[in-house]
Structure 1
Amino acid sequence: MTKLKLGALSDDKPVKLTVELPAQVHRDLVAYAKVLEHQTGQTVAEPTKLIGPMVERFMATDRGFAKLRREVPKERNSAAEG
């Protein structure tokens, strides 16, 4: 069986955001929630709860973002020293 990139969802205190999604992305999100429920046995009552973990996973695996994120503190430290 193919494994999804997301696993079981953690129960962190959320920050509320309002987002607009294209209809097709919402349909895919609902379908993803159903597959995730099947794989983990965990009920996903609100497919929108997947958005946070998906964005988190995306940023965690974006090598360009990780590289730039590591460089930003160096630039701040250099500016503070100069």
Structure 2
Amino acid sequence: MTKLKLGPLADDRPVKLTVELPATVHRDLAAYAAALAAETGAEAIPPEKLVSPMLAKFMASDRGFSRRRDIGKN
């Protein structure tokens, strides 16, 4: 089995954000949560808890964004 990109999730202080997702994306998040639980041996987490780490991983892997963000810090 291929290893999932997300590992165990850090317990971080949340900021409330409301988004609308297509039902298919929500179903995929639920399936991902179940797969992550099976892979890590942890309890399944609610699908909405996956959005933040997935977005963070996506942004961290986007080289164009990283360059622009780094330029803005100077």
Write out per-residue CA displacement over residues 2-26 of structure 1, whole angstroms, 9 at most, x where no aligned residue. Answer: 0111000111111111110011101
Paired residue secondary structure (2:4):
coil
| Aligned residues: CA RMSD | 1.1
Whole-Å separation in 2 of the counterparts to 1:69 and 1:28: 30
Q: Give me the TM-score of the superposition, normalised by structure 1.
A: 0.83
Q: Structure 1 stretches (4+) deviating beyond 4 angstroms? A: none
Q: How does 1:1-82 map to 2 (within 5 A)?
A: 1-74=1-74
CA contact (8 A) 2:37 2:45 kept: no
Aligned residues: 74
Whole-Å separation in 1 of the counterparts to 2:44 and 2:11: 12
Q: Give me the TM-score of the superposition, normalised by structure 2.
A: 0.92
Looking at secondary structure, tell me which structure has more helix per residue: 1
How far residue 72 of structure 1 moved from its aligned partner, in angstroms, is 2.0
Write out per-residue CA displacement over residues 46-79 of structure 1, whole angstroms, 9 at most, x where no aligned residue. Answer: 11100000001001100010011112234xxxxx
Higher Rg: 1
Whole-Å separation in 1 of the counterparts to 2:3 and 2:45: 21
Q: Which runs of 5+ in 2 are unaligned?
A: none
